[in-house]
Amino acid sequence: MPAAKGAAGFVHSVKSILRSYGLVKIYRSLGNDKAWQKLLKNPLLPASIKELVQSHYRVWSVVAEQVKAMEDNLSEHGATRAAVLKRLQDDARGGADSGDDDDSAPGGRQTFRQRQARG
């Protein structure tokens, strides 16, 4: 599971806890699932804080899943939005470039620029 930007607070909290116990060297990064698993299996992790680290990991996992779901949703809708945006931009320019020299919009309508020039 990739690092979840929204879960950075949980990583920071765990690192702070580990630093307070003088355990700075038992983790390198907690930006992915594998790193969390490695930390939780580390024999140097005291049992007194292991449960706390596990609870932070569980919340981090849920947040990472939610962030991924939202990113997937945005990607899915992004394609639809891109098509709509292109159409709106083409309409604002007076229609897509059809290759002819006629400056009128599709259907013989005047473009915004033509209306502005007319006064």
Of 25-39, 40-54, 70-84, 88-102, minimum mean pLDDT range = 88-102
User: Inter-axis angle of helices 47-92 and 33-41, to 10 degrees?
Assistant: 180
pTM of the complete model: 0.56
User: Inter-axis angle of helices 47-92 and 8-20, to 10 degrees?
Assistant: 150
Residue pLDDT, tens place only, 71-106:
888 887 777 777 788 888 888 776 655 454 555 555
Does any domain span residue 83?
yes
Does any domain span residue 101?
no
- What local confidence, expressed as pLDDT, does residue 112 receive? 74
The domain in which residue 84 lies consists of 5-93
Give the count of domains, the chain.
1
Tokens of 87: 């159409």
- Rg over CA atoms, the chain: 27
